[in-house]
Chains A and B, each alone.
Chain A
Amino acid sequence: MNLSRRTRVATAVAGAAAFALLATGCSSGGGSNGSGDSGGDITLTVTTFGTMGFDDLYQEYEDAHPGITIKATNIDTGDNARTDWQTKVAAGSGLPDVQAVEEGWLGLVMQVSDQFNDLSDYGADEIKDRWVPWKLQQATDPDGRIIGYGTDIGPEGLCYNGKLFEQAGLPSDRESVAALFGGADATWDQFFAVGKQYHEATGKAFYDHSGFVWNAMVNQQPEGYYTKDGDLNVEDNANLKALWAQLADGAATGLSDNQTAWDWGGGKAFTDGSFATFMCPGWMLGVVKGQVTAGGGDATTGWDFADVFPGGPANWGGSFLTVPTQSKHPKEAAELAQWMTDPAQQAKAFQAAGVFPSTTEAQADPGVTGESDLTKFFNNAPIGEILAKRAEGVAAQFKGPDDSIIQSQVFGPSIQELDSGKADGTQAWKDAMDLLDQLVVNK
Chain B
Amino acid sequence: MTSTLSRSRQAPPAPRPTAPAPQRLTFRQRLNRWDVLLSPYLYVSPFFLLFALVGLFPLGYTLVVSLNDWNLLTGPGEWVGLGNFTAELADPLFWNSLFNTMSIFVISAVPQLVLGLVIAAVLDQNLRAKTFWRMSVLLPYVVTPVAVALIFSNMFGEKYGLVNNLLVGLGLDPVMWKTELWPSHFAIAAMVDWRWTGYNALILLAAMQAVPKDIHESAAIDGAGAVRRFFSITIPSIRPTLIFVVITMTIGSLQIFAEPKLFNATTATPGGPHREYQTTVLYLWDLAFQRQSFGKAAAVAWLLFLLIVIIGLVNFLLSQRIASGSSPRERRRGRRAPEGRDALTSAPTYAEIQQRGL
Contacts and interface: CB of A to CB of B under 8 A. Distances in A.
Interface of A: 1-3, 7, 11-16, 18-19, 79, 83, 86-87, 89-90, 108, 111-112, 259-263, 265-266, 268-269, 405, 407-409, 412-413, 416, 420, 438-439, 443
B107 interface: no
Contact of B154 (A12, A18, A86, A412): A12
Given A265-B159, A412-B268, A420-B176, A19 B146 contact: yes
Given A15-B149, A261-B266, A408-B268, A420 B73 contact: no
Contact of A412 (B146, B265, B273, B292): B273
Interface string B195-222: 0000000000000000000000000000
Nearest to A4: B268
A269 B273 contact: no
Which of B92, B93, B150, B160: most chain A Cβ within 10 A? B160
A7 B176 CA distance: 24
A260 B264 contact: yes
A104 B269 CA distance: 16
Interface string B56-94: 000000000000000111110000000000000001110
Nearest to B150: A12
B159 A260 contact: yes
B178 interface: yes
Interface of B: 71-75, 91-93, 146-147, 149-150, 153-154, 157-160, 176, 178-179, 258, 261-262, 264-269, 273-274, 289-294
Which of B75, B157, B159: most chain A Cβ within 10 A? B159
B268 A111 contact: no
Contact of A14 (B74, B265, B291): B265
A439 to B, nearest CB: 7
Given A86-B289, A262-B266, A108 B146 contact: no
Instruction: Give me the 8 closest cross-chain CB pairs, A-B, nearest first.
Output: A408-B268, A265-B160, A15-B262, A15-B265, A262-B266, A416-B273, A413-B273, A14-B265
Contacts of B261: 15, 18
A259 B265 CA distance: 14
A8 B243 CA distance: 45
Is chain A's binding surface mostly helix, strand, loop or mixed? helix
Given A2-B266, A90-B73, A259-B159, A405 B290 contact: yes
B269 A413 contact: yes
20 contacts: A1-B273, A2-B267, A12-B154, A12-B265, A83-B289, A86-B73, A86-B292, A87-B72, A90-B72, A259-B159, A260-B158, A260-B159, A260-B178, A261-B266, A265-B159, A269-B160, A408-B268, A413-B269, A438-B91, A438-B92
B294 A2 contact: no
Contacts of B159: 259-260, 265, 269
Contacts of A11: 265-266
Contacts of A7: 266
Contacts of B291: 405, 409, 439, 443
B157 A263 contact: yes
Given A89-B72, A409-B291, 9 more contacts: A1-B267, A7-B266, A15-B149, A16-B147, A16-B150, A112-B74, A405-B291, A412-B268, A416-B273
A405 B268 CA distance: 9
Contacts of B71: 111
B86 to A, nearest CB: 13
Contacts of B72: 86-87, 89-90
B294 A90 contact: yes
Given A19-B146, A90-B294, A112 B73 contact: yes
Contact of B153 (A12, A19, A89, A438): A12
A443 B159 CA distance: 35
A424 to B, nearest CB: 16
A441 to B, nearest CB: 13
A112 B73 CA distance: 7
A159 B261 CA distance: 31
Contacts of A262: 266
Contacts of B289: 83, 86-87
Contacts of B75: 90
Contacts of B150: 12-13, 15-16
A11 B265 CA distance: 7
Contacts of B274: 413, 416
Nearest to B269: A409
A3 B268 CA distance: 8
A102 to B, nearest CB: 14
Nearest to A408: B268
B1 to A, nearest CB: 40
B268 A265 contact: no
Nearest to B151: A12
A7 B265 CA distance: 11
A407 B75 CA distance: 24
Contacts of A13: 150
Contacts of A260: 157-159, 178, 264, 266-267
B179 A420 contact: yes
A262 B75 CA distance: 32
A15 B73 CA distance: 23
Nearest to A112: B73
A1 B268 contact: yes
A409 B74 contact: no
A14 B262 CA distance: 8
B301 to A, nearest CB: 15
Nearest to A89: B73
A412 B286 CA distance: 15
Contacts of B160: 265-266, 268-269
Nearest to B261: A15
A436 to B, nearest CB: 13
Contacts of B294: 90
A111 B74 CA distance: 7
B178 to A, nearest CB: 7
A89 B294 CA distance: 13
A111 B292 CA distance: 12
A83 B285 CA distance: 10
Contacts of A19: 146, 258
A409 B290 contact: yes
Nearest to B273: A416
B292 to A, nearest CB: 8
Given A86-B72, A86-B73, A265-B159, A15 B178 contact: no
Contacts of A265: 157, 159-160
A416 B273 CA distance: 7
Contacts of A439: 291
